[in-house]
Amino acid sequence: MKLLVGLGNPGAKYAQNRHNIGFMAMDRIADDHGFAPWRSRFQGLVAEGRIGSDKVTLLKPETFMNLSGQSVGEAMRYLKLTPADVIVFHDEIDLAPGKVRLKTGGGHAGHNGLRSIHGHIGPEYDRVRLGVGHPGHKDAVPGYVLRDFPKADQDWLDDEMRGISDGIAHLVAGDGARFLNAIALRTAPARSSTTAPKPAKAPKPEPEPAPDTRSAMARLMDKFR
């Protein structure tokens, strides 16, 4: 079994925040893969289902971001899992919008949700880092992540969520490379091989030779030189 955790803050006013991109990923996976309805459990919302042959529990902690570890720790212990069975999806300001990276273990880089999870289960869990960009100055970060994604971001955000859903079976099975490739196929699709190539430029016509104004006798003599 895998426990997939999306980080965010509960309530409608936070739903479209950059900080809630983890919740968005959980919602897309649940909708696309036929999970049971969300229900309250483990200080959060839980949906259960299967991805391939694996049983999977989705969790959206409702403790607010800074206390996410309370919910994650309770769920992990009840389900008799280890940190290696936990995959956390979270916003990442050190990645450009639309970029996705995987990480296992290591520090929390100041992310309060990860800091809380570290405190409850330790650092040795898997993470899906979902880039949201950086405001440019560290003092602006709290306000930045608690603002909604602008309309200009909706296209890549939807493509990224679709890619996560497309590739989630690979991630659950431990194949991170194929998971990332599924996202890339949505966010940066290869150009079709059936696309007609641009027509080649026509060659410049060669200039016509100047007319030969010599007499017939002169042209004949020139042949025998």
- For residue 130, the SS3 value is strand
**Which residues have CB under 8 Å from 3's CB, separation 6+?**
56, 57, 59, 72, 75, 76, 79, 81, 85, 86, 87
Q: Which of 19, 111, 118, 170 is catalytic?
A: 19
Helices in the chain by DSSP H: which ranges? 21-32, 68-78, 112-121, 141-145, 154-172, 176-187, 216-223
Length of the chain: 225
Q: Active-site residue 137, yes or no?
A: no
At 183, the amino acid letter reads I
Contact 50, 189 (CB under 8 A): no
Q: Count other C-beta atoms under 10 Å from residue 74's C-beta.
A: 18
- Identify the sign of the CA torsion 107, 104, 89, 3: negative
Active site residues: 19
